[in-house]
Amino acid sequence: MSGSSPERLDAHRFSDPALLAQALRHRSAGTPHNERLEFLGDALVNLFIAETLFARWPQADEGALTRARAELVRESALAPIARTLELGSKLTLGPGEMKSGGHRRDSILADALEAIVAAIYLDAGFEACRAAVLPWFESAIEALPPPHKVGKDAKTRLQEWLQGRQKPLPVYTLISESGEEHAKTFHVSCAVTDLALVTEGEGASRRAAEQVAAEAALVDLEARRAKS
């Protein structure tokens, strides 16, 4: 997929269009490709997000800030932003990646987004880069749960809820498993006897099923709290 060396991306017009062209060039298409820019862009994105969270969550501890940043900068969070910017159609890919649908792959899109960030930085400097990039993350930042809940899975949150109220820990029991060896479904229960609470969950692994059951328990507990 060969691009036309665009000069503008979203809110930034490049003084040096070659930087944008390189940021959009995957290694499968030859050199100069975007891997070095990706390295720099990764550091910049982490800094921008860390700075923003630090300012917005003055009471959050280091652990909560670290987990929130990880949520926002992981591949599965960056790829949707790249799609919003329509980077897939702008990428320059080699024949193999073109045939395999590389322009839709999360890893390639996330890498390209980081490379774009670096290209903007090199083209216009730190302040201009931050001003262009942070709006891309605004909705994701706004959607984050409270600091103490960020990045914690349902089993951990349920355990902490119970411990905070001096209640016994939940007991997870495998009810059944079905399906072929390579595609099993696990059915488990989550019981908190002290609260007369039993929920169930299914998943492709026992751990995944336990997470579903724990999430159901948390929903139930929240509903009870709302009624009280």
Band (23; pLDDT cuts 50, 70, 90): very high
C-alpha distances in Å from residue 83, one per residue of 42, 57, 110: 18, 28, 9
CA pair distance 22, 34, nearest whole angstrom? 6
16 is annotated as contributing to ligand binding:
no
Q: Which two tokens stand for residue 55?
A: 């300012």
Query: Which helix H or strand E contains 42, and what residues bound it?
Result: helix 35-56
Q: How far is CA 59 from the centre of its chain?
A: 23
Band (3; pLDDT cuts 50, 70, 90): very low
CA pair distance 13, 196, nearest whole angstrom? 61
Give me the pLDDT at residue 8, please: 63
Catalytic residues: 42, 114
Taking the model in full, what pTM does it have? Answer: 0.67
pLDDT in tens, 136-177: 999 999 888 778 677 677 898 899 889 989 999 999 999 999
Q: 71 with 50: CB under 8 angstroms?
A: no
Residue 1 pLDDT > 50: no
51 is annotated as contributing to ligand binding:
no
Query: How much of the chain exceeds pLDDT 90, in percent?
Result: 62
Q: Find the range with the poorest average confidence among 5-9, 26-30, 95-99.
A: 5-9
**188 φ/ψ sector (left φ>0, alpha ψ -120 to 50, else beta):** beta
111 is annotated as contributing to ligand binding:
yes
Q: Which domains occur in the chain, in start order?
A: 8-146 (1.10.1520.10), 154-227 (3.30.160.20)
